[in-house]
């Protein structure tokens, strides 16, 4: 059983992608967000990126988005999650890649939106094509009206619960005095992704499959930043309608019934370049690393049954810089608290299985 570095495994995925763009290794783009943006554009044969603003790509999270996408492909055998993404909305297996691509590359799209700072934004009035609109009279959007009736069981949270969390998040950010994020970036990201996708689909002609892909992807993005309460005291701040799933002692877990959301939750939690990678050229690196250093220091094995993540070498590098590993280690371990994933750790090696 051989563990390989994330660096090696990602390069293998680049070769498999065959983007016909000249990329042969992640060294060519992973060093900064601007170059990662260019790599995202190279995938335009399956994911159109329009400089005119059809898509708002999160420039400050472009590296993270690309790494998230590639890690999902690395874990594609695990638990049958990737292989069942499309089937939950009755689409053929060939659509798995498009669903994962659209979701992973857009999941932090709202980080680049000025709307994130507007705590009073009314999504329904702002976006002509509104993700949670169940009453639209537009014939083109009939598939949108049908989605919650046909596929609601594939969602971890109902529309009502997502919108309740939106209200909670706005109040939470206001109380924190957070000027950078006044609304939940996950919910806003889902709304933006859906609006941009439907605009593109409507221009090119109605395609039921594309609308389903847009909706499933956007709803996954909208759900990926919803957090459980951490204590009985925090429960009091949550709307009553959310406590059954998000109360601190709730047994609710993100599970394999929503494979796209579970895969995103797994990868988004593990990915650590966003946390430990150098943010820009002015970063002196005292408490951070070059992205390639991080990816070359983490070793992974993945198959149908389990994922092993060996962080022992990375832990040594963190120790030399005086970086506390506990917060990141805890974030991986606590996946067991809010997902169906069981996580164990020994000597800085994490093993993840589906319960």
**What is residue 53's predicted lDDT score, i.e. its pLDDT?**
38
Two tokens at 30?
């992973």
Q: Delimit the domains of the chain by residue range.
A: 4-299
**What is residue 283's predicted lDDT score, i.e. its pLDDT?**
57
**What is residue 50's predicted lDDT score, i.e. its pLDDT?**
37
Question: CA 170 to CA 237: how far, in whole Å?
Answer: 12
Q: Which residue has the tokens 């400050």?
A: 60
**What is residue 107's predicted lDDT score, i.e. its pLDDT?**
93
In contact, 96 and 86? CB cutoff 8 Å = yes
Helix (H, G, I), strand (E, B) or coil at 350: strand
Residue 268 CA, distance from chain mean position: 6
CA 98 to each of CA 57, 76, 219, 240, 339: distance values in angstroms, whole numbers, following the listed order: 17, 13, 15, 37, 24
SS3 sequence, 113-149? Answer: CHHHHCCCCCHHHHCCCCCCCCCCCCHHHHHHHHHHH
pLDDT tens for each residue of the chain, 355 residues long: 689 999 999 999 999 887 666 788 999 999 888 888 888 887 765 555 433 333 445 566 889 999 999 999 999 999 999 999 999 888 899 899 989 999 999 999 998 788 988 999 999 999 988 999 877 777 777 766 677 778 877 799 999 999 999 999 999 888 887 777 889 999 999 999 999 888 888 888 767 888 889 999 999 999 999 999 999 999 999 999 999 999 999 999 999 999 999 999 999 999 999 889 876 555 556 778 999 999 999 999 999 999 999 999 999 999 999 999 999 999 999 999 999 999 999 999 999 999 8
State phi, psi for 255 to the nearest 5 degrees.
-130, -175
Two tokens at 120?
């009073």
Beta-bridged to residue 346, according to DSSP, are: 349
Two tokens at 324?
């506390």
Question: CA 277 to CA 157: how far, in whole Å?
Answer: 32
pTM of the model: 0.93
Question: CA 301 to CA 316: how far, in whole Å?
Answer: 20
334 closest CA partner among 352, 311, 315, 310: 352
Helix (H, G, I), strand (E, B) or coil at 253: coil
In contact, 291 and 247? CB cutoff 8 Å = no
């Amino acid at each position: 059983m051989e563990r390989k570095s994330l660096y090696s495994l990602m390069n293998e995925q680049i070769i498999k992608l065959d983007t016909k763009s000249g990329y042969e290794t992640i060294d060519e783009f992973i060093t900064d967000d601007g170059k990662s943006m260019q790599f995202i554009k190279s995938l335009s044969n399956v994911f159109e990126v329009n400089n005119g603003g059809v898509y708002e790509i999160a420039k400050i999270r472009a590296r993270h988005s690309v790494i998230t996408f590639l890690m999902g492909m690395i874990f594609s055998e695990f638990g049958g999650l990737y292989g069942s993404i499309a089937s939950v909305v009755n689409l053929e297996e060939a659509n798995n890649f498009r669903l994962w691509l659209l979701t992973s590359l857009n999941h932090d799209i709202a980080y680049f939106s000025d709307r994130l700072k507007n705590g009073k934004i009314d999504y329904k009035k702002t976006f002509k094509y509104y993700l949670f609109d169940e009453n639209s009279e537009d014939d083109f959007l009939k598939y949108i009206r049908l989605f919650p009736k046909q596929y609601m069981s594939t969602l971890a949270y109902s529309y009502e619960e997502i919108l309740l969390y939106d209200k909670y998040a706005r109040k939470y950010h206001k109380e924190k005095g957070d000027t950078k994020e006044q609304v939940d970036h996950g919910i806003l990201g889902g709304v933006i992704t859906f609006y941009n996708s439907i605009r593109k689909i409507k221009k090119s002609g109605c395609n039921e499959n594309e609308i389903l892909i847009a909706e499933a992807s956007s709803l996954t993005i909208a759900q990926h930043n919803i957090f459980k309460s951490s204590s009985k005291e925090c429960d009091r701040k949550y709307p009553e309608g959310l406590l059954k799933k998000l109360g601190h002692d709730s047994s609710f877990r993100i599970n394999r019934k929503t494979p796209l959301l579970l895969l995103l939750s797994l990868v988004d939690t593990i990915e650590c370049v966003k946390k430990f990678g150098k943010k820009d050229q002015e970063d002196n690196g005292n408490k951070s690393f070059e992205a390639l250093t991080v990816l070359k220091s983490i070793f992974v094995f993945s198959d149908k049954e389990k994922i092993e993540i060996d962080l022992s070498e990375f832990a040594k590098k963190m120790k030399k810089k005086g970086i506390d590993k506990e917060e990141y280690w805890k974030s991986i371990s606590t996946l067991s608290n809010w997902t169906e994933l069981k996580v164990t750790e020994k000597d800085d090696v994490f093993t993840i299985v589906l319960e």
